[in-house]
Chains A and B, each alone.
Chain A
Amino acid sequence: MRSLLKGCAAVAAVCSVVGAAAAQVASVASDRAGAILVFPKVVVDTANSAGRGRLDTVIRISNTSNEPVRMQCFWMNANGHCFNAPGIICDPTLSPRDPRCPANSFCVPGWQETDFIVQLTARQPVAWLASTGAVPCADSNDPAIPCFALGTRDQRPSPNNNLESRVPAVLEDPFVGELKCIAVDQNDLPAEKNALKGEALIVGSDRNASNNFDVRGYNAVAIPALVGRNNFDNVLVLGGAGAEYAGCPNVLVLDHFFDFAQDPVTSQSIETVLTLVPCTEDLLGQRPVSMPIQFLVFNEFEQRFSTSFRDFSCFREFRLSQIDTRSNPTYSIFYAGVAGTLTGQTRIRGVAGNDRTRGQTLLGVAEEFRAGGGSASFQLHVQGSRPQSDFVYLPFQ
């Protein structure tokens, strides 16, 4: 009898461990629906003012559930603006300086959010262009531009139509930044509905020519809500103690070609651009989140390099070989001639530093460009979690 009791106790203990593990099942993913969608990179440049060709982004989101879902979405404008000439949009990542800024000026990184509501009915797919936004089709007079299909002018807005949906175009053109959408209820309080999935298509094109026509797509990163955990306030807790949503990953892993490596199929030169955003975002106080980022790089000989980026804040696009060099990429550890092999694996980690209260984790997406050819986007791999939480502060009290 005693041995039977011991056995039952052991089973109970193991069951509790397994149960605890099951409770931790939810994790950020780009192939599952979630309650928060993060599109780390949205770009618009319809006039080709940045010299990268005409660019626009298609956002596609759908509701995977049989019930209506309401989203509060945030455009995060990460455009830089020239110091002393704030009307000029510039790129703070250009080195030594963006030539669009006056001679006595420099580019100041920016970060500003604009939010809006989108109402999705059961299983409904919707889409919009970042450059134009979208309105209910009942209010649209341009059938060529995506709009929200459900609802007529004689109806009142309800969860079963799209009349409450109105997506503003990104506030500046050119634009670079992030889009974040959060499932909320009809009172705009966070809702535990893991029903949102999405994709972004970044489109390069030309007016009256096809020289730069190129499309790359990636899945939005979905952060699932932990059902029964939400206290419905304006502070969303991602991972850690008191988690309301799954935590962000401890490490991001990127497999890539080293910059300027020759494509083994076409012999074109390849470059990789990495875009990172922090998991913690203060949309209420508009306080930028800053942290150092550590990069640990392995080539195909198992040889290890590392570098870091100190000034990460809010949003950053990196060409890999400009992470550790500013002027001469042939000295970068991400340059194929330095690494010695065509491909590498890079592990990316936000450093928590002395702030032990926040996870300081990152999300991102990678893009691969072939000189004279096209481009492709792909998801980063993720590993592990952190004991600290990340926080999203929503701009309502």
Chain B
Amino acid sequence: MRLARGATEDCGVKGRASGNIGPWVAILAVLGLVGSTRADVTVERGSSILVFPKVISDAQGLLTGGIPTETIIQISNLSNSLAYAHCFYVNAAPLDPTQPAGVFNPPQWIEVDFNIVLTKQQPTYWVAGSGRRVDPTDSLCDRSIPVLNCSNAGFDPGLVPAVPPPFVGELVCIEVDSSGAPLNGNRLKGEATLVTSQTATLNGNQIRQGDASKYNALGFVGLNTDTNSNDGNLTLCLGGGPRPGCPIGAEYNGCPETVIVNHFAERATFPAVPRSQIESSSVRTEVTLVPCTQDFENQVPGTVVVQFKVTNEFENLFSASTTVNCWANLRLSDVSRIFDVNVLGTRFAQTRMTPGGAEQGSFIGVSEEFYTDGLSGLSRAALNLHVEGERAGGDLITVPEVLP
């Protein structure tokens, strides 16, 4: 697209830092200036790392409280040049998915990675449970209604493996160059759609096939794309200053200091249905959180203690905490009783989530709400969480070697 005079675009197409620039970047890092050009994660700008915190492929609803769910991943290239990405699925399903997760049935925490490549401005998609094969003979969409059976038409982005069923976990995609080295191109954007794959009934409430929640992937913007602060090694530095593993400080913007969610109190009534049904309607909220620090090389799950500070409509303050190992999908009522409407005392609340201590890394996430209409209907909607501030200490993502 041709730009109007003076208008700007955000994408960068950059190489590695040159030897001449490195010392200046180091000086600026010491001065605390590198990394200050943009703070926090983003859900609506081109980025160099995409995180989809909630990916589910569970046709039987074993891990979703009985709601059969599948996830459609959409990623596109915002630039006019090729974009490469190295993606990681993290499987957080318990070893025995038919039993509740716990000490004797821990999450698998298995990582599987793959590569994708997107041409100029190319969008692509795949279904988590079926992946996407490289097949140039995929048929095109047909003009006659309703025959539009054209799954996978278009340039296949690469061989995307299907996740093993049932799957819950996250997807992380890191922009790389053609050699596989991390790159600050800020070319990637993405969305995930959680689709109810079959009509199901839970506690007398029916959720229809095709009821869907959609959220934008969280993006980490590569810093200083014009000078490329990325040293191209396998340790990705999210925020923070110079430290072991990050001699020049941040390569990407940092994780937030605070994650904020506006939500209904658990079991609160839902006022948007017809008046006669309000008293028997209800709302529940899930937040899905993942630590920002992740070590895919050594397969060490990130751990973070999450503090919840809840303010109700009377400005009363409540608090709670929990620990997130690798990945957690938390129903608020399972975190603490304080989220219950009878304890909170009001229908709406604002919850601020922060890491438990200065030595801890940060986390990001997404929320999903489930509503009943007071008769027999159940529906879902996902919302991106708000963020505030930037974690001073920074976080690290360590990726495995890509070359033999």
Contacts and interface: CB of A to CB of B under 8 A. Distances in A.
Contact of B314 (A54, A150, A219, A388): A150
B36 interface: yes
Given A22-B37, A150-B313, A337-B148, A342 B369 contact: no
Interface in A128-178: 129, 144-146, 148-150
Size class of the contact patch on chain B: 35 or more
Nearest to A385: B8
Contacts of B33: 15, 18-19, 22
Interface stretch (B100-108, B117-125, B297-305, B396-404): B117-125
Interface string B204-223: 00101111111110000000
Interface in B109-154: 119-125, 127, 130, 140-146, 148-154
A124 B313 contact: yes
Contacts of B209: 266, 268, 372-373
Given A60-B262, A125-B311, A205-B377, A265 B127 contact: yes
Q: Interface centre among B46, B276, B350, B388, by most A CB within 10 Å?
A: B350
* 5 nearest A-B residue pairs (beta carbon): A373-B210, A300-B154, A210-B377, A213-B377, A374-B211
A378 B376 CA distance: 26
A250 B9 contact: yes
B159 interface: no
B349 interface: yes
Contact of B145 (A330, A339, A370): A330
Contacts of A213: 273, 371, 373, 375, 377-379
25 contacts: A18-B36, A30-B43, A33-B386, A64-B386, A129-B271, A144-B275, A148-B313, A206-B274, A255-B76, A255-B189, A262-B151, A264-B72, A265-B72, A266-B210, A268-B210, A299-B154, A300-B153, A337-B143, A338-B143, A345-B76, A376-B193, A380-B44, A383-B11, A384-B9, A386-B4
Interface stretch (B23-31, B172-180, B241-249, B324-332): B23-31
A219 to B, nearest CB: 6
A11 interface: yes
B96 interface: no
A146 B271 contact: yes
Contacts of A339: 141
Contacts of B277: 205, 207
B288 interface: no
Interface in B68-121: 70, 72, 74, 76, 78, 119-121
A197 interface: yes
Given A205-B373, A217-B381, A14 B28 contact: yes
A61 B313 CA distance: 11
B313 to A, nearest CB: 4
Contacts of A124: 311, 313, 315, 350
B270 to A, nearest CB: 8
A219 B315 contact: no
B24 A10 contact: yes
A79 interface: no
Interface in B16-43: 24, 27-28, 31, 33-34, 36-43
B10 interface: yes
A363 B391 CA distance: 30
Contacts of A77: none
A206 B376 CA distance: 11
Given A25-B38, A342-B141, A302 B148 contact: no
Interface of B: 1, 3-11, 24, 27-28, 31, 33-34, 36-46, 70, 72, 74, 76, 78, 119-125, 127, 130, 140-146, 148-155, 189-191, 193, 195-197, 206, 208-216, 260, 262, 269-279, 311-315, 317, 346-350, 352, 369, 371, 373, 375-388
B123 A255 contact: yes
Contacts of B141: 258, 261, 336-337, 339-342
A269 interface: yes
A179 B375 CA distance: 30
Nearest to A147: B313
B154 to A, nearest CB: 2
Contact of A210 (B10, B373, B385): B373
Contacts of A39: none
Contacts of A337: 141-145, 148
A233 B265 CA distance: 39
Q: Interface centre among B4, B193, B317, by most A CB within 10 Å?
A: B4
A164 to B, nearest CB: 16
A385 B206 CA distance: 45
B314 A149 contact: yes
A203 B371 CA distance: 10
B212 to A, nearest CB: 4
A219 B384 contact: yes
Nearest to B190: A255
B267 to A, nearest CB: 15
A269 B209 CA distance: 12
Contacts of B72: 263-265
A203 to B, nearest CB: 4
Contact of B211 (A146, A214, A344): A214
Nearest to B368: A217
Interface string A175-207: 000000000000000000000011101010111
B381 A121 contact: no
A72 interface: no
